[in-house]
């Protein structure tokens, strides 16, 4: 990083955590007078020693006149207080109080642990983040759907089971045996393992630690400021994902176990009401004739191998007057290799 920074260029690009590694070198570069912070909401925690503090020193403590622009689609992904750290980075002159004072200004406490936004808290957020420019999705209607791949690592117990399945077409997890009788079943078991829940030989569900994959999923949802569809092709994984997401968002679940009448109600509420914010669904139930244009993001938590189902499920957002994004969870390349007859 230091060697690259020593070279003369118009732009230098570094990841969020890399700022601290080149902080001292930046103090000797007064020619770098503009810092553009993509996904600035990542720096919302003003107590973070690895993210916020190094960037704050670069912007506000090196005695170099630097302009700073923050880019984000969701300045307050969790609470109104998320704006506090961004204000301290970009517009510190707008608010001179402490975090606690801003929290009391924007949030209302219910009980010892629960806080909810006060009515009008968005005005406080807008005040401390000025000047700002906002582009609504409605002005981006001429853009093609955007396909994005995110890589999610597996946990250690997932990796162990995954390797055993590839090598032996069988693995044992906490006393339960998982087997694959042919290549097609093996592919399915590998994908289930990567998802975090796999069906054992006796029909029971075996759960893994799927925290890394869940973290990526939550990150993608938090980055989107409007409704989201999450597609999960396995029932066990679908239930596990929905359970985790309910800890942060309002969630509705639709799969083959949900009656036609209940599905109709869920789809109508998803289109017309603020909640649910996230629809977790089996892709086959979204395959035909549904209008889910309230969503601007579809996430494939795991792939389907039916091309028609993939195309039709993605088309549920067609007709939306807003830009469409489709995030695809990326599994290990060996799954694709196996599907082509490799071993």
For the stretch 119-137, pLDDT in tens is 999 999 999 999 999 877 6
pLDDT, one tens digit per residue, over 92-108 is: 999 999 999 999 999 99
Three-point CA angle 244, 194, 154, nearest 5°: 85
Q: Residue 339 above 50 pLDDT?
A: no
Local structure of residue 196 (DSSP, 8 states): T
pLDDT, one tens digit per residue, over 234-275 is: 999 999 999 999 999 999 999 999 998 999 999 999 989 999
Biggest alpha carbon–alpha carbon distance for the chain: 67
Give the pLDDT confidence score for residue 127 in this predicted structure: 96
Q: Residue 342 above 70 pLDDT?
A: no
pLDDT, one tens digit per residue, over 212-238 is: 999 999 988 988 888 999 999 999 999
Q: What are phi and psi of 108, to 5 degrees?
A: -120, 135
Question: What is the pLDDT of the chain when averaged over all its residues?
Answer: 85
Tell me what the mean pLDDT of segment 31-35 comes to. 95
Lowest-confidence region among 44-53, 171-180, 223-232, 264-273: 171-180
- Name the band, by pLDDT with cuts 50, 70 and 90, for residue 338: very low
β-bridge pairing 114-117 and 107-110: antiparallel
Give the pLDDT confidence score for residue 336 in this predicted structure: 44
Give the pLDDT confidence score for residue 289 in this predicted structure: 62
* pLDDT greater at residue 321 or residue 85: 85
Q: Residue 175 above 50 pLDDT?
A: yes
Question: Which domains are present in the chain?
Answer: 2-134 (no CATH), 146-152+210-332 (3.40.50.300), 156-209 (no CATH)
Q: Residue 191 above 80 pLDDT?
A: yes
Q: What single string gives the DSSP state of each residue in 40-52?
A: GGGG--TT-TTTH
Alpha helices (runs of H) in the chain, residue ranges in sequence order: 2-6, 23-26, 52-60, 82-90, 99-106, 121-128, 156-168, 183-195, 211-223, 235-245, 260-272, 307-314, 333-339
- Name the band, by pLDDT with cuts 50, 70 and 90, for residue 176: low
- Name the band, by pLDDT with cuts 50, 70 and 90, for residue 114: confident
pLDDT, one tens digit per residue, over 279-332 is: 999 988 886 667 787 888 889 998 887 777 777 777 766 544 444 455 555 544
Q: Residue 173 above 90 pLDDT?
A: no
Cβ distance 142 to 130 under 8 Å?
Answer: no
Instruction: Give the contacts of 95 (CB within 8 A, at least 6 positions apart).
Output: 84, 87, 88, 102, 128
- Name the band, by pLDDT with cuts 50, 70 and 90, for residue 142: low
Q: What is this structure's pTM?
A: 0.60
Give the pLDDT confidence score for residue 341 in this predicted structure: 43
């Amino acid at each position: 990083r230091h060697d690259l920074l020593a070279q003369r260029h118009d732009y230098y690009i570094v990841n969020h955590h890399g700022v601290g590694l080149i902080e001292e070198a930046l103090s000797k570069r007064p020619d770098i007078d503009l810092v553009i912070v993509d996904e600035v909401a990542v720096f919302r925690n003003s107590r973070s020693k690895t993210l916020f503090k190094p960037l704050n020193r670069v912007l506000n403590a090196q005695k170099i006149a630097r302009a700073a622009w923050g880019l984000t689609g969701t300045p307050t992904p969790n609470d109104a207080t998320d704006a506090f750290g961004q204000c301290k980075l970009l517009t510190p002159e707008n608010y001179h109080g402490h975090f606690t004072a801003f929290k009391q200004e924007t949030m209302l406490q219910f009980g010892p642990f629960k806080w909810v936004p006060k009515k009008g808290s968005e005005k406080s957020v807008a005040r401390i983040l000025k000047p700002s420019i906002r582009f609504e999705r409605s002005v981006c209607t001429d853009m093609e759907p955007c396909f994005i791949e995110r890589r999610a690592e597996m946990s250690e117990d997932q990796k162990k089971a995954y390797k055993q399945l590839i090598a032996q077409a069988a693995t044992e997890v906490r006393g339960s045996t998982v087997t694959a009788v042919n290549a097609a079943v093996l592919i399915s078991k590998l994908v289930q393992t990567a998802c975090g829940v796999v069906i054992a030989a006796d029909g029971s569900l075996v759960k893994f630690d799927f925290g890394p994959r869940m973290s990526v999923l939550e990150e993608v949802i938090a980055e989107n400021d409007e409704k989201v569809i999450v597609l999960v092709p396995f029932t066990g994984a679908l239930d596990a994902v929905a359970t985790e997401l309910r800890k942060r968002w309002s969630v509705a679940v639709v799969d083959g176990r949900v009656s036609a009448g209940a599905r109709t109600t869920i789809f109508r509420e998803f289109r017309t009401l603020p909640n649910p914010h996230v629809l977790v669904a089996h892709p086959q139930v979204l395959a035909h004739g549904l209008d889910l244009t309230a969503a601007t993001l579809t996430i494939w938590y795991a792939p389907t191998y039916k091309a028609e189902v993939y195309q039709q499920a993605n088309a549920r957002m067609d007709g939306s007057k807003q830009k469409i994004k489709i995030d695809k969870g990326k599994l290990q390349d060996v799954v694709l290799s196996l599907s082509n007859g490799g071993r």
